[in-house]
Amino acid sequence: MLDDDDPGWPWRRAPFVVFPLYGQLLQRRSRRDLNRDGLLMLRELFMAFVAAILLFGVVLSFMDAGETEPSPGLAVGLLALGVLAGIMGRVVERPLDCTSDQKLAASYRTRFFIRIAFSETAALFGFVGFFLTAERWVYPIAAAITLVGFARAAPTRAHLQQDQERLSERACFRSLVNAIRATPPSDPRR
């Protein structure tokens, strides 16, 4: 069973993800807090990834694909590559490491980023496909595929509870939520 230590989602900060300069100032101010919550940071980052996919779609809706001749076959091929990349992400994943709280948190974050990276591949192929194929429908479909993959990566309460149950089945009784919250990612600039 999941602890009641889940801090929830930082929704009041979500609108600032859309405004990069203000968001950067907000992040700098919050980095000064040495006791940052690792789970809140992960959720803020997740919202930024989702916002980026949606904002690319907004930008592409105002653009013209150019002089390229429409090529539905190439567009379908690029989408298929994006789906294949999402499937490959499942192959690359490793189980969570329960040897210590730090390793548990680090393995959860690694899996999170692997899921995001492989899922995002579909949107990247869709973005390129928009320009290569002159097909306007490529990016929305690719973005939808990406968002489905992101849903699997989302650090939601339900997903954390499922992971906690899997850990318990493996005789690991460390609290996943507490491990993630207490072990924020290290700042590479230090």
Using DSSP, state whether 153 is helix, strand or coil.
Answer: helix
CB 2 within 8 A of CB 161: yes
Q: Which of 131, 111, 130, 108 is nearest to 119 (CA)?
A: 111
Instruction: Answer whether residue 3 shows pLDDT above 60.
Output: no
Whether residue 50 lies inside any domain: the answer is yes
Give the amino acid at 35. Answer: N
Instruction: Answer whether residue 63 shows pLDDT above 90.
Output: no
CB 91 within 8 A of CB 62: no
What's the pLDDT score for residue 75?
Answer: 78
**How many residues are listed for the chain in this entry?**
190
Instruction: Answer whether residue 91 shows pLDDT above 70.
Output: yes
CB 189 within 8 A of CB 44: no
Instruction: Answer whether residue 34 shows pLDDT above 50.
Output: no
Whether residue 80 lies inside any domain: the answer is yes
* Phi, psi angles (nearest 5°) of residue 91: -70, -35
- Higher model confidence: residue 102 or residue 8? 102
What's the pLDDT score for residue 1?
Answer: 43
Instruction: Answer whether residue 97 shows pLDDT above 90.
Output: yes
Whether residue 2 lies inside any domain: the answer is no
Does pTM surpass 0.85? no
Domain count, the chain: 1
Q: What is the mean pLDDT of the chain?
A: 83
CA gap 137, 34 in Å, rounded: 45
Whether residue 189 lies inside any domain: the answer is no
Quote the domain boundaries for residue 50: 11-182
Whether residue 148 lies inside any domain: the answer is yes
- Higher model confidence: residue 67 or residue 57? 57
Whether residue 6 lies inside any domain: the answer is no
**Beta carbons within 8 Å of 176's beta carbon, 6+ residues apart:** 2, 96, 104, 108, 160, 163, 164, 167
Instruction: Answer whether residue 98 shows pLDDT above 80.
Output: yes
Using DSSP, state whether 34 is helix, strand or coil.
Answer: coil
Sign of the C-alpha dihedral computed for residues 100, 105, 111 and 113 taken in this order: negative
Instruction: Answer whether residue 158 shows pLDDT above 60.
Output: yes
Sign of the C-alpha dihedral computed for residues 58, 61, 62 and 66 taken in this order: positive
Q: Which whole number is the average pLDDT over 20-49?
A: 72
Whether residue 19 lies inside any domain: the answer is yes
CA gap 121, 82 in Å, rounded: 5
